[in-house]
Amino acid sequence: MVRDVKTNLLGLDRSGLEAFFVTLGEKPFRARQVMKWIYDRGVDDFDAMTDLGKALREKLNACAEIRGLEPSSEQRSADGTHKWLFSMDATNGIETVFIPEPDRGTLCISSQVGCALDCAFCSTAQQGFNRNLETAEIIGQVWTANRLLGRRPDGGWPVTNIVFMGMGEPLANYRRLVPAVRILLDDLGYGLSKRRVTVSTSGLVPALDRLANDCDVALALSLHAPNDALRDILVPINRKYPIAELMASAHRYISAQPHRHVTIEYVMLDGVNDSEKHAHELAALLAGLPCKVNLIPFNPFPETRYKRSPRPVIDRFRDVLMARGVLTITRRTRGDDIDAACGQLAGRVDDKSRRRERHRIARERTAEMEARA
């Protein structure tokens, strides 16, 4: 049986697209022409691609498509942040957030429907996991956001920076991540400089080691704790890849990219990881690693038992790190009035991991124990 599934060209990086044209009996250079239409001009209609012959346009219409994502809702925060829920199918949706600043527009994109990693303080984790996104769905977030936002007054696209900090663990979807990053960096794709594309990971060490060779981008590590005992609880993947291994991998990543630094993400949880002692321990851990620490004030969500550290505690933590020579900034909370801030993206996940159920039972048990105490 012939399957009537068209190839979505948003899922193919330059070499993939060249190979695709060869299978159509065409010259590989067609990839260059088509990429210019897709990414530079934002076109999804083959008939508009006037430098392709009619026969080729018909061929493409028959077997290919350029299909962005369907927004099922859009919210706009008082601070200008946009959040979209893109529906993936009847039961699943992912969230994508646009954060405008005077000199740039950052799109925070998702890499999976849900997440399987179960970090204790993250609302996506509570949703469980359904599946990996396809490359076309990762790039589709960028392509669709640009089209929905419309061009800037100077004619450029509004998205100038990408952070893989939406739903999911990008390095757990490595095979689809790499071509997506290549499209973002390619001059015929979005042509973003590698400083403007950040992959954030909770620390899948083997994939991180591969990343340096496959595509050279900015790296953010979700550290969140300065020792294994605490990180085992907050970021459970630490039990598999403990801090020493993660740090060694970060050093390797950086040594392959001279003059670069790693961003260390550290969520500030009241009374959990925010003491001066933790700050000193963190400074010692980071000594010798070219890095910048990003303190993220915890963003609450309905089922959480954590609280945000008070501002003076965050400032004190920063001061200790700075005094020890670690460049530290506190991330400004954007879009929290529409639940678009870090760790608040929940999308719609038809959970296959049964994690949501386990979380619900655990919460009920805790509540029962607290009621009895």
Residue 131 to residues 89, 117, 355, Cα–Cα distance (Å): 12, 13, 14
- Tell me whether residue 342 is one of the annotated catalytic residues: yes
Q: Out of 95, 137, 169, 265, which one is annotated catalytic? A: 95
Contact 114, 132 (CB under 8 A): no
Residues 33, 34, 40, 42, CA torsion sign: positive
If one asks whether residue 222 binds ligand SAH (CB under 6 A), the answer comes out as yes
Tokens of 6: 């068209």
Nearer to ligand SAH, 144 or 198 (CB): 198
Nearer to ligand SAH, 21 or 174 (CB): 174
Q: Which residue is nearest to ligand SAH (CB)?
A: 343
- Tell me whether residue 364 is one of the annotated catalytic residues: no
User: How crowded is residue 296: how many other Cβ atoms within 10 Å of its Cβ?
Assistant: 23
Nearer to ligand SAH, 52 or 217 (CB): 217
Contact 127, 116 (CB under 8 A): no
If one asks whether residue 351 binds ligand SAH (CB under 6 A), the answer comes out as no
Residue labelled with tokens 């990881």: 273
- Residue of the chain from 201, 238, 249, 328 that contacts ligand SAH (CB under 6 A): 201
- Parallel, antiparallel, or unpaired for β 93-101 and 104-108? antiparallel
If one asks whether residue 169 binds ligand SAH (CB under 6 A), the answer comes out as yes
If one asks whether residue 205 binds ligand SAH (CB under 6 A), the answer comes out as no
In degrees and rounded to multiples of 5, residue 332 shows phi and psi of -75, 135
- Residue of the chain from 130, 132, 299, 309 that contacts ligand SAH (CB under 6 A): 299
- Residue of the chain from 21, 39, 46, 121 that contacts ligand SAH (CB under 6 A): 121
Total of chain residues touching ligand SAH, rule CB under 6 A = 17
Query: Whole-angstrom Cα distance, residue 261 to residue 258?
Result: 8
Contact 298, 325 (CB under 8 A): no
If one asks whether residue 346 binds ligand SAH (CB under 6 A), the answer comes out as no
If one asks whether residue 161 binds ligand SAH (CB under 6 A), the answer comes out as no
Nearer to ligand SAH, 135 or 202 (CB): 202
Nearest to 132 by CA among 89, 96, 177: 177
Residues lying near ligand SAH in the complex (CB under 6 A) are found at 119, 121-123, 165, 169, 200-202, 222, 265, 267, 296, 298-299, 342-343
Q: Give me the active site residues, please.
A: 95, 342
